[in-house]
């Protein structure tokens, strides 16, 4: 299949009408806010050496994963809403499918690593520094990125070999399932491979998160009041993030399995709730709940305003 000469048409834009401008403004504001919040969180953690600990390193990677996910879809949608263009090259579609696959897997895997970090911190505190060594954390993250990149590359390569009978979709973005639905050839191989990837990148990390919190809960219930409160305080942001992303992913999977004939509002809601809202909420949740990040943000902003006043 010569992907350079094929384009995909997004027919969903025809039905927006006056809603197009509203969607453009809302999406632009949410996307810019997402970028600013996540980059601020990354800057705060990188600028303060006392935050260079495993949990915060994982949080930086979670923020960067959110930026990657939203940036893989939002600029293209904003461009199409602004210019009225409905087309995307198949190469662009395959590229978008690659990064959206990596994004969803990255978030779940990083959340699993964060759950493991909390498990070691609460259940084996004396061994924490020997288990969660910086080199070990970097190695685990490198393995996550390499594995997800390889899985997604194979999936996209399989999609690129399909012969397409149709070239229009009624959705806001491309993924491997969208491309497979346009094919006029057998797609069993890519469907089975996609299922295996979902099990490895989503189901396994979710199981590890649940297993970690079962052990944490067992230890916390036997702990003293102060230790219990501290454990709840440190685990709450992670639990909120994990539950929210799992719920949005669940509805996203259901939506992708449904017919294309679904209300446009459901299409937009699914798109925003998976690619925009989680990356926007993650830095807010952690910025509010984690005292060290709050204090570092206040210190950085105070220093910034002091520089401005001195310049005046």
Do the domain assignments include residue 236?
Answer: yes
178 has a pLDDT exceeding 90: no
Q: pTM of this prediction?
A: 0.89
Residues 82/178, Cβ–Cβ less than 8 Å? no
The per-residue pLDDT of the chain, averaged, comes to 85
Instruction: Count structural domains, the chain.
Output: 1
* CB-CB neighbours of 225 under 10 Å: 7
The pLDDT of residue 62: 94
| 200 has pLDDT over 90 | no
Is position 149 within any domain?
Answer: yes
Is residue 6 a part of any domain in this protein? no
Q: Which of 80, 101, 105, 96 is nearest to 13 (CA)?
A: 80
Which of the four pLDDT bands, split at 50, 70 and 90, describes residue 312? low
The confidence score (pLDDT) of residue 33 equals 93
Q: What is the average pLDDT across 147-166?
A: 89
Distance CA 180, CA 173 (A): 14
The CB density around residue 111, as the number of other CB atoms within 10 Å, is 24
On whether residue 85 sits in a domain, the answer given is yes
Q: Is residue 7 part of a domain?
A: no
Residue 8 in domain: no
DSSP string over 7-50: EEEEGGGGGTTTHHHHHHHHHHHHHHHHHHHHHHHHHHHHH-GG
Q: Are 131 and 120 in contact (CB under 8 A)?
A: yes
Domain of residue 21, CATH code: 1.20.1070.10
pLDDT-wise least confident of 131-135, 147-151, 302-306: 302-306
Side-chain half-sphere of 265: how many Cα atoms within 13 Å?
0
Asked if residue 1 is part of any domain, the answer here is no
Give residue 104's domain range. 14-311
Residue 4 in any domain: the answer is no
pLDDT digit string, tens, across residues 204-250: 999 999 999 999 988 888 877 777 788 888 888 888 889 888 888 88
């Amino acid at each position: 299949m010569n992907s350079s000469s094929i384009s995909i048409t997004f027919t969903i834009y025809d039905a927006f009408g006056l809603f197009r401008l509203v969607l453009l403004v809302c999406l632009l504001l949410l996307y810019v806010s997402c970028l600013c919040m996540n980059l601020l969180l990354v800057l705060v953690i990188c600028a303060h050496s006392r935050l260079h600990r495993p949990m915060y390193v994982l949080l930086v990677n979670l923020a960067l994963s959110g930026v990657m996910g939203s940036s893989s879809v939002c600029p293209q949608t904003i461009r199409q809403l602004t210019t009225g263009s409905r087309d995307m090259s198949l190469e662009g579609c395959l590229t978008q499918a690659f990064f959206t696959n990596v994004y969803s897997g990255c978030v779940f895997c990083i959340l699993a690593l964060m759950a493991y970090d909390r498990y070691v911190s609460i259940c084996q505190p004396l061994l924490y520094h020997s288990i969660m060594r910086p080199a070990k954390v970097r190695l685990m993250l490198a393995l996550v990125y390499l594995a997800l990149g390889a899985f997604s590359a194979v999936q996209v390569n399989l999609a690129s070999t399909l012969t397409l009978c149709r070239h229009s979709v009624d959705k806001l973005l491309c993924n491997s399932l969208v491309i497979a639905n346009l094919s006029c050839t057998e797609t069993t191989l890519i469907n089975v491979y996609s299922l295996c990837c979902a099990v490895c990148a989503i189901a396994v990390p979710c199981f590890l998160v649940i297993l970690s919190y079962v052990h944490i809960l067992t230890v916390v219930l036997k702990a003293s009041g102060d230790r219990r409160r501290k454990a709840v305080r440190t685990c709450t942001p992670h639990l909120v993030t994990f539950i929210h992303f799992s719920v949005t992913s669940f509805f996203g999977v259901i939506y992708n399995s449904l017919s294309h004939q679904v209300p446009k509002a459901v299409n937009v809601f699914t798109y925003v709730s998976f690619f925009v809202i989680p990356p926007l909420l993650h830095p807010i949740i952690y910025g509010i709940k984690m005292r060290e990040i709050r204090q570092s943000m206040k210190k950085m902003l105070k220093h910034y305003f002091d520089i401005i006043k001195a310049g005046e």
